[in-house]
Structure 1
Amino acid sequence: MKKVLDLLPSVLVGALFLFGGLNFFFNFVAQPPMTGDPGVFMGVLFSSGILKVIKVLEVIGGALILFPSKRALGLTILAPITVNILLFELFLAHAPSVGVALMVLSAIIAYQEREKFKALL
């Protein structure tokens, strides 16, 4: 049971980022248009091409986080994206949702992989 609970955060984060990244390219689920400041922000990201880079990194990080030996590398790629999702939700959309869950799950994964991150501190 402990192994399942240890794997759960990684599977959830990996699946969310894989689905989100692949959905951008293959449009599994249509996204409703954004309005106001969030719409302007996303429009700039989309028109500049930066969003494509972010989505490629989401797919790569989401895939890496599913492999135990590459989990720390995947989290390193996804950490700035996760922080930006949370900040977008808090300051532009004014509706925290999945960003909070991603931050909590990422913190759990970072704690689980703390030995690999000790060299950075």
Structure 2
Amino acid sequence: MKNKFLFILSLLSGLMFINAGLNKFFNYIQVPEDLPEEAMNMFMAMMEIAWLMPLIAVFEIIGGALFIIPRFRAFGAIMLTPIMVGIVAHHLTLGFGLPIPLVMAVILVWVIIENKDKYLSMITKNN
């Protein structure tokens, strides 16, 4: 039961990351007109670095797809962790709605904890 629940949460989170990545390429989600000036300035600064948004988008798409597939979920979680840290920091500093990023961060942490043995094998000495 726990595995099915984790799969459903991973599927939804992965799809949200894929959607966010695709939106960076195709701009199909409209930017709200009442966006705070600080947020607009930050987005404009990020757009000045021509390679940054495509790089983030590729990591969101690939990481989101890997996050959905149980065999590759641990790798997807590692790819998405820096992006998730940026999302939470962005929402904390600019005062946007925090519930969805926090829920997604909790799911990401849960996946990392569930796969801790895979990560520990990378940093422990095996004779």
Any stretches of 5+ residues in structure 1 without a counterpart? none
Q: Partner letter of residue 17 of structure 1?
A: F
Counterpart residue number, 2:41? 40
Q: Partner letter of residue 77 of structure 2?
A: L
Counterpart residue number, 1:31? 31
TM-score by length of 1: 0.88
Contact 2:15 2:64 (C-alpha < 8 Å) held by counterparts: yes
Q: Partner letter of residue 36 of structure 1?
A: E
For the aligned residues, what is the CA RMSD? 1.8
1:67-118, Cα deviation, whole Å (9 max, x unpaired): 1221111111100000110010001235423221111110111112111111
1:22-64, Cα deviation, whole Å (9 max, x unpaired): 1221233222243321111111112212122111110010011
Counterpart residue number, 1:19? 19
Any stretches of 5+ residues in structure 2 without a counterpart? none
Distance 1:75 1:6 in 2: 13
Distance 2:86 2:3 in 1: 30
1:74 aligns with 2:76: yes
Q: Partner letter of residue 41 of structure 2?
A: V
State the identity %.
28
* The structure with more radius of gyration: 2
SS of the residue 2:104 aligns to: helix
Moved more, 74-83 or 19-28: 19-28
Distance 1:41 1:26 in 2: 20
SS of the residue 2:32 aligns to: coil
Q: Partner letter of residue 72 of structure 2?
A: K
Distance 2:97 2:14 in 1: 23
Contact 1:9 1:106 (C-alpha < 8 Å) held by counterparts: no
Using the TM superposition, give the Cα deviation of residue 16 of structure 1 relative to its aligned residue in structure 2, in angstroms. 0.7
Counterpart residue number, 2:2? 2
Counterpart residue number, 1:116? 118
